[in-house]
Amino acid sequence: MSVLETSESALCHENIEKQLSGQLDRVTIYRILHGFCEDGKIHKISGENGKTYYALCHDCSHERHNDNHLHFHCVSCNHVFCMDAPALITPLPPGYDVQTVSCIVSGYCPSCSG
């Protein structure tokens, strides 16, 4: 998905739709995004503003996503960034099999805080 590959931050669903409108319809875009998620190409991020963001995966397989990293939501430019830091800091008791972790930190990104 070239829209996501060229973007340095995660894109929200609306944004992707906007960029692809004219080329693809809503349903097709939704289906493509869903397929990419299942293939381990992109991952979903649920923003605290209720929006869904998508970002490229780096180290994921079809079977399992490896995306348990922190996300940063900039309250100024509204971008969501993937952080190279693990989201799960506290180890869970045995028997809990983590599938997804959604951890969002919000604040100002480098280009907005300066």
16 touches Zn ion (CB under 5 A)? no
User: In whole angstroms, how close is the CB of 49 to Zn ion at the nearest point?
Assistant: 14
Footprint (CB under 5 A) of Zn ion, residues 52-91: 55, 57, 60, 65, 67, 74, 76-77, 82
Among 43, 44, 53, 72, binds Zn ion (CB under 5 A): 43
φ and ψ of 102, to 5 deg: -115, 115
User: How many residues sit close enough to Zn ion to count as binding (CB under 5 A)?
Assistant: 12
